[in-house]
Amino acid sequence: MLAKRSGRFWGGALLSVLLAAAGAGAQETGGKEPGARDALEQMRLKLEKEEMELERLSEMVFIPAGSFDMGSASGAADEKPVHRVSLDGFYISKYEVTQLQYEKWMGENPSYFKNCPLCPVERVTHAQANAYCLRVGQRLPTEAEWERAAHGGVGGEYSWGEEHGERFAWFGNNSGQRPRPVGTRKANAFGLHDMAGNVWEWVADWYDEDYYRVSPAENPTGPRMGKQRVARGGGWGHSPEQIRHSLRDHFDPRTRYINGGFRCAASKGKP
């Protein structure tokens, strides 16, 4: 189930101003300055296209309440033990947050790989990712929410099963060693794109290697405190092993990693 946030973009008002300015300019010059009018029209079309992209990129997917097996019996020590987790329904972004979105809402683009508006924003700290989500009325997903969403309701190491991973993820085999525009690989069964590869994604939880041994069975939110934050999903430079859905990584929350971004989530009823 897809949901769209109500648009709070200021582009519509600016478009109106531009159109009014273009009309006034045409009246004052008797239509003798087509260059100025053409420039305003091009700007209007650009802003209109940007509005449409922002609306598309703001889509969220509702993940219904349910249970899944979190972790991996064959994974690293911090992925064990495999344990059953039950979650309430929640929303999560269909796409990783892009440079276009981040610059629109935060007024800057910290990315290393700039000039790619539809690529995921990267080089964001955990605090910056959290601030963005709060700015748009959302939050970072918990680690458990992220993993349930990544699996797409399917068990196993990868949501795509026996299919070729290159169709679903940008990683070391096919990325050209850089992030790629979001949504250009196939979605998982929940309709989410890039839940493996492209960029690592910050989640809300603090990291604890042994947390799975004491994790609550319902709606876990991670340790109460810690020194590092969890990141999930792997990135554009990684091997197939490193983009497994259960793989956990962790970084100093102040890290600005060229392979690190995020997506947002929202509790049920708050897309």
**Are 89 and 61 contacting, i.e. CB atoms less than 8 angstroms apart?**
no
Tokens 């109460």: give the residue: 224
Range of the domain at 115: 62-267
Are 196 and 68 in a shared domain? Answer: yes
Are 31 and 70 in a shared domain? Answer: no
Q: Is 186 helix (H, G, I), strand (E, B) or coil?
A: coil
Are 99 and 163 in a shared domain? Answer: yes
Report the domain count for the chain: 2
pLDDT given for residue 148 in this prediction? 98
Are 139 and 102 in a shared domain? Answer: yes
Are 138 and 250 in a shared domain? Answer: yes
SS3 string, 126-171, reads HHHHHHHHHHCCCECCCHHHHHHHHHCCCCCCCCCCCCCHHHCCEC
pLDDT given for residue 20 in this prediction? 56
How would you label 98-119 residue by residue, b for 16+ Cβ within 10 Å and e otherwise? bbbbbbbbbeebbbebeebbbb
Q: Where are the beta strands (DSSP E) in the chain?
A: 2-4, 59-63, 66-70, 83-87, 90-93, 200-206, 229-232, 248-251, 260-262, 265-267
Q: Which two tokens stand for residue 171?
A: 């990683």
The H or E element spanning position 22 is helix 11-29
Report the alpha-carbon angle 238-266-191, nearest 5: 55
Query: What is the DSSP code (8-state) at residue 120?
Result: B
The model's pTM: 0.86
pLDDT given for residue 1 in this prediction? 42
Q: Is 42 helix (H, G, I), strand (E, B) or coil?
A: helix
- Positions in the chain whose pLDDT score sits under 70: 1-34, 270-271
What CATH code is carried by the domain that includes residue 137? 3.90.1580.10
pLDDT given for residue 222 in this prediction? 98
Are 68 and 42 in a shared domain? Answer: no
Are 239 and 155 in a shared domain? Answer: yes
Peptide bond into 81 cis (omega under 30): yes
Reported for 159-166, long-range contacts at CB under 8 A and 24+ positions apart, including other chains, are 159/188, 159/189, 159/195, 159/196, 159/245, 160/186, 160/188, 165/196, 165/240, 165/243
Q: Which two tokens stand for residue 253?
A: 């929350």
In a domain, 185, yes or no: yes
Are 17 and 128 in a shared domain? Answer: no
**Are 202 and 225 contacting, i.e. CB atoms less than 8 angstroms apart?**
no
